[in-house]
Every structure is written in structure tokens, then in C-alpha cells.
Chain A
């Protein structure tokens, strides 16, 4: 799957949770954890949504990593696991 498609699907999942506030940054730099878009209550479900959408399993070492919190980082993780 192309990077653009992965990004698009991640953004679709995020947008269902509410507006993406970009603060003049590129959407790929959007940090959905720092912006509270995905909070600690919603994190488990969000990761499960990503895993089931892309048919992957995110390992524990990446579960609370910094990389997982941005569109760019999560796209990278998904790409690696596909």
C-alpha cells in the first residue's frame, strides 16, 4: 500500500473523532496525542481501529512510543508492519 493511502486512511479514522487542528503545520506533522485528539481513554480503541483497518499488530515496544502519536510516525509504523 502506498504511503499516501495509509495517511489518507489514518486521517479518515482521526476525523471521525473530531476536527483536526493543524496549527499551520502539515497534516502529516499533526500530533493527535499532544492535541488530545486521541486521549488516554480513546487510545486503546484507536490503536485497535488502526490494527484492524490495516490488518497489522502493533508491538508493545511501539505502543506508547513518540512515533505513534503523529500521522507521519504512525504511517511509518503501519508501512513497516504491512
Chain B
């Protein structure tokens, strides 16, 4: 099961149909196939070998898609990296994943050039996207190089089971958590989505989530396996999304819960801009009850789905809220090819209904492994992957989410590990100890508060702290507020009690510019 097989098929069946549309480009399936093949050959000619790691540091774009598909053709492993991350995190991710060839957005080239050379990435293995830089490879040139025509590009990856994609999360250890997928798994997830949401070749999809998220991959693979069209949003904004849905007569979309929450506020009942939208799926975070009610009331599309899943296992449950509004307090039943168990602390199944424990899933769509880590074995018990979320199954087999096993903050659909931020803050010379929590924030779902204890004789300077955070933390890790404490509240075992901090500061307004207060 390989992407190249389906690319050939779709280019043969629908050569002149548009595969992808963005603001600046349009590409048919035949054009896509030709460009992908040409780039694949150029990469081979540049010495890239099967299973080498290729980093793509880019926003959503058709260029990104061409690079990813070319890598699939020659059995190369793709590592999407976000341009919005802090420079040191970008370098860390490149180093950790052993990237030896990189495509990157032209504006970040000069910032990263020296670091890339230090990582022994040869200059000839760096290619810019978007604009030509003197003496550096340029993607458009590689795509348009006149290569010898080939009938078929052969690789040893016959079943599509080799590693193909590494999705990086920030991770709660000193290294990023790198989740490895094969082409086969990603295609199976695509087929599963097509069946679950009844998507076919006549559908028009819109990609509004960042391409480095696993869920975004569906919007690359669904056109390849079905022959439908994806509109690629370079960036997401509510108005832009609404305009594009109307302009391109979009029929299907998946968005992060916080995006849907923002959209639902703008809409009228049966909003005419969404007339063609048949199905909309919410993912990556829990949708609050108020938003669910608003969506049901405003009838924003024919079928609105709320889902639960994890990058490692894909979609786990799916609920059509439009058809089953009475089940809105749950996340729905497990999807086909996925089984859920609720486990107790000793990994024994809790068979009693309505009793909470750790949510574990057995899935046909499970990831291959964590890169450079045996965490998969530790997280898996008798083929059931433990998600780290707490919940229960009700009498009707519907899943309910009640909490998280680990402290994770979800900022605009992105999982943020407080330890990652605390480690960075603790490295600042004025900070003795920090503790980070997430609190409700109206735009993002959750925002970040950093509590700080200063070292003796050190003074807090908000400007310097902002500068430090810009340099060392990614977009989604930026604290919205700093609170300087003299001591932390402690729990029973003498550890910092985040619960007590949350309770005390739960009404903090995070909607303003970053502030610091002394408590």
C-alpha cells in the first residue's frame, strides 16, 4: 500500500482535475504526478538514499505537498517542522531526527544557515522554498530540472510499511516525542476517514490546520486515494475560512476545536456561506458544551462530528452531533477497527460501565514506533495503547472524557507539556524555580500562566522575560501571564500543588498583553 501507486492511478483516472488549490497555485493530478516524479529524480540525483530523513520547514503550501509526495516515491522519511517554533527547538528537532537534507522557507535560511552547517547538513542538501537565494538550491529549480523520463521509480519498500513520516510533538522529556508512521498507516487512516464521513471524488475539502499535525495529512492523502480536491489554506483565520468555503463550494473540513469555537460565534442560523458544507469534524481537543449547543442550534452543516483520538492511534471515537444531539455529553462510540478499554492503575480492564480509568485503544491505524525511544512498549499493554486520558464508557458504549493522566495544556489544539516550559524558564539566571499551569482562555481554549520564584537579589524585568521567551519558546508555549511568588503551595508529598495554583488563579483574565504580578 504505497502513495505512489495511488498517485499514478489518480493521475491516470483524473489527469485534468484539480488536486490542490491554494491562494497562489493550482495543480491538476497529472501536473502533480509529473512534478512529484521530477523532484523525486532530482533528489535521487542529489544523492538522497532510501530511508534518509528529509526535514520540511514550511507552512501549509502546495510546495510542501509536492516535497512530501516526492519523498514517498523514493522511500525517504519526511520530518515536517514548524517555522513558528523557537530556533533552538527547530535545531533540536533536526538534530534529534537525524535530518540530513532540508527544505526550508526562504526567510528562515539566513537565521539557520550556520546551525545547519554545524549539524553537518551540506549546503547542497539545503533547498529553499518560496524564493531563490544565491548559491542555494531552490525547490522550483529542482522540480523543473529536465530529468530523464522514467517509466517507474522502484524502491524496496514494496508494502509501504517502511517509516515514511515523523510527527514531532514537543514531548515532556528533554527530547521531542517523535511519532513514526508508515505510508500504509497514513493511507489506511485516509480510507477510514473516507468511509466514516462518506467522502468521494466529487467532494471538495479544505485544509485549515497546520500541515505538521497528523490530522492534516488526511487532506494530502484523500485527494490521492479518491480523486477529490483539497483547498490548502496557507494560514487560518475565521473570515478567510468562511470566504474559501463559499468560494470553492467546500463540502468537507476538519478543524481543531478552538477554531470551530471561533467560527461558531460568527455564524448566523443556517449561514448562507456554509450552504455547500455537508460535513464538519471537530478534533484535537474537547469541544465545550456551549459551543456544541450553538452548533446544533445554528445548523452550520448537515452533519457535524465531534471526535476523540490521539496522534498515535488516529481517530478513536466519532459522534454525529447533528443526528444524535442527545448524546452530546459523550464523545461517541469507537469507530470501525478500533476497540476501547478502560484500565485501572494495574492495567486491568474495568468492565463496569460508567467507572473511570485510563483510556486505552487497540487500533488498526496505530503508529509504527517512537523514534529513538521504547516508550511505545511502555505505553502499550496487550496491544492496547494507553492514551494518558482518563474517561469511562457508559451503558450505551459511548466514551466520556473526564481528565488527563498527565499535566498537558491544550493551546489552540496543540498539546503543550508544562515541563518543557518550566525547563526553559528554570534555565534563566534570575529564576530559582517555575511552575506552569493552563487556564481557560476564550480564544485558545487554554492559556498559560507561569509562576516564578526569583533567586535572591534578582529583579524581574518583564521586557527581558518577553525577550527570553521569544528566543527560547515556541508560539504555543508563550506564557500569557507571569506571577511572581515567594513560595509555592505544596501538596501532600511536598511537591508543588498545581491544583492549588489552579484553584487560586482560576478567574485570571488572560485576554490582555503579557503581564507580570507579584503575589
Which residue of chain B has the shortest Cβ distance to A33 in the bound complex? B237
Residues of B contacting A36 with CB < 8 Å? 233-237, 240
Give how many B residues have a beta carbon under 8 Å from the other chain's beta carbons: 42
B414 at the interface (CB under 8 A from A): yes
Query: A55 CA to B470 CA in the complex, in Å?
Result: 13
Chain A residues contacting B262 (CB-CB under 8 Å) are 40
One of B30-38, B43-51, B103-111, B199-207 at the interface: B103-111
The answer to whether A41 and B466 touch (CB under 8 A), given A21-B234, A34-B239, is no
User: Which residues of chain A are near B470, meaning CB under 8 Å?
Assistant: 45, 48-49, 52
Q: Is the CB of A19 within 8 A of B24?
A: yes
Chain A hits for B513, CB < 8 A: 47, 57-60, 63
Q: Are B412 and A40 in contact (CB under 8 A)?
A: yes
Residue A17 CB within 8 A of the other chain: yes
Question: Given that A36-B236, A41-B444 are known contacts, is A52 also in contact with B466, CB under 8 Å in the complex?
Answer: yes
| Closest Cβ neighbor of B441 among chain A residues | A40
Beyond A45-B475, A51-B466, whether A17 also contacts B411 by CB under 8 A is: no
Please indicate the chain B residues that have their CB under 8 angstroms from the CB of A23 in the complex. 23
Cβ contacts B454-479/A at 8 Å (1 or 0 each): 00000000110011011001111010
Question: Contact residue range for chain A?
Answer: 20 to 34
The answer to whether B514 and A48 touch across the interface, beta carbons within 8 angstroms, is: yes
A39 at the interface (CB under 8 A from B): yes
C-alpha gap A62/B450 in the complex (Å): 23
Chain A residue nearest to B466 (CB atoms) is A48
Q: Does B258 touch A at the CB level, under 8 Å?
A: yes
Contact status of A40 and B258, CB under 8 A, knowing A18-B59, A35-B240, A52-B470: yes
Q: Is the CB of A16 within 8 A of B511?
A: no
Q: Does A29 sit at the interface, judged by CB under 8 A?
A: no
What is the CA–CA distance of A21 and B466 in the complex, to the nearest angstrom? 28
Which listed residue (A35, A41, A57) contacts B411, Cβ 8 A? A41
Q: Is B83 an interface residue (CB 8 A)?
A: yes
Interface residues of A in 50-71 (CB under 8 A from B): 51-52, 55, 57-60, 63-64
| CA distance in complex: A25, B124 (Å) | 36
> Which of A17, A36, A37, A51 has most B Cβ within 10 Å?
A36
**Which residues does chain B contribute within 8 Å of A64, judged by CB atoms?**
511
Is the C-beta of B327 less than 8 angstroms from some C-beta in chain A? no
Residue of B nearest to A64 (CB): B511
| CB<8 Å pairs between A and B, sample of 17 | A16-B105, A18-B58, A21-B23, A34-B239, A35-B237, A40-B444, A41-B84, A42-B475, A45-B473, A45-B474, A48-B470, A51-B466, A52-B470, A58-B513, A60-B513, A63-B513, A64-B511
Top 3 A-B residue pairs of the complex, sorted by shortest distance between their CB atoms = A36-B235, A36-B237, A18-B59
New contact pairs (4) apart from A48-B478, A52-B466, CB-CB < 8 Å: A35-B237, A36-B235, A47-B514, A59-B513
